[in-house]
Structure 1
Amino acid sequence: MWISLFRHWTRYRLLYKILFFSVLFLGMYLGMRPGPPPTPFKFNMIDSVYHAGGLFICTLLSYLAFPRWRWWLRGVLMFSVGVAVEFVQSFQPTRSADIHDIYANSVGVGAGLLVILAWQCYSMRRV
């Protein structure tokens, strides 16, 4: 089973890279555009869920696309994306940067790193 999983992973690595960069650029576009992205609900917590969820997914996809990156490099790069989005939002007249969004970004990156660590520990134990 593990051999077939690694073959699948190797065979579709380019697809994972394309998916990672597509999700990353979509998140950056939505975060840096002049108006906020449309939301189905008007609820204050939904913004934090978008931030945490988006960077959680990007962190997981970064592992699928680039599995040899060190954990700290992956964390720094994903955290930098979140800070860059907030930095650009601070210059938009219709948007505002918020420290709580950076906290939500950090939670998403940290949760993604924990899931990756759990997967690595589980795969090492099973081999």
Structure 2
Amino acid sequence: MADESTPAPLGKVRPAASELHFRRLWQGIGWLMVAVVVWLSVTPHPPQPPSLLTWDKAQHLTAYAGLMYWFRQAFAAHWRWPVFLITLGVVLELLQSMIPLRNGDLVDVVANSLGVGIGLALGRSPLGGLLAAADARIARLGR
């Protein structure tokens, strides 16, 4: 996998996660997002999503795409993050099969994994610099 100094599309170099002013905050938000996904996955009666995302597979794809997109920006680019998120999706589906009123689903694992791929692609696109741009803007406000 390419390192953070690899030129982004349009010739811009995306700053490394270690160069973010509020790196720990962004990473903490990422782990909070993981905690929310875990809670939603293992609670017997999760809250119902907005009507726009009533299809279960879209929820899985969106959640894991969002996680990977965030992790790609807040943490150093490394193969372990997609592997971690795909493994998390598999483990949570296995746990769901053991929880009353829930059931694990192989198609959910596929949706989770596709979401990780989409999030990774978004993180490598020009959109992958949005967190760094927000971080820089917030840092300038504090001066």
**TM value normalised by structure 2:** 0.69
The one-letter code matched in structure 1 to 2:102 is R
RMSD: 2.9
Moved more, 9-18 or 48-57: 9-18
Q: 2:57 aligns with which of 41, 48, 55?
A: 48
Q: Distance in 2 between matches of 1:49 and 1:96?
A: 17
User: CA, structure 1 residues 74+119, in 2 after alignment: closer, same or farther (shift >3 Å)?
Assistant: farther
Decide whether the 8 Å contact of 2:23 with 2:74 is kept in 1: yes
Decide whether the 8 Å contact of 2:69 with 2:119 is kept in 1: yes
The one-letter code matched in structure 1 to 2:85 is M
Q: Paired residues, what number?
A: 116
Decide whether the 8 Å contact of 1:36 with 1:95 is kept in 2: no
Q: Distance in 2 between matches of 1:95 and 1:42?
A: 22
Q: Distance in 2 between matches of 1:115 and 1:75?
A: 13
Structure 2 equivalent of residue 76 of structure 1: 83
Q: Distance in 2 between matches of 1:16 and 1:121?
A: 14
Q: Distance in 2 between matches of 1:18 and 1:83?
A: 23
SS in 1 for 2:55: helix
**TM value normalised by structure 1:** 0.77
SS in 2 for 1:11: coil
**Mind listing any 5+ residue stretches in structure 2 that lack a counterpart?**
1-11, 130-143
Among all aligned residue pairs of Structure 1 and Structure 2, give the percentage whose two residues are the same amino acid. Answer: 26
Taking the TM superposition and a 5 Å limit, the aligned residue runs for 1:24-103 are 24-41=34-51, 46-67=55-76, 69-70=77-78, 72-103=79-110
SS in 2 for 1:39: coil
Decide whether the 8 Å contact of 2:72 with 2:120 is kept in 1: no
Decide whether the 8 Å contact of 1:62 with 1:74 is kept in 2: yes
Which protein is richer in helix relative to its size? 1
User: CA, structure 1 residues 41+119, in 2 after alignment: closer, same or farther (shift >3 Å)?
Assistant: closer
The one-letter code matched in structure 1 to 2:125 is A
Give 1:65 shift: 2.0
The one-letter code matched in structure 2 to 1:23 is M
Structure 2 equivalent of residue 125 of structure 1: none
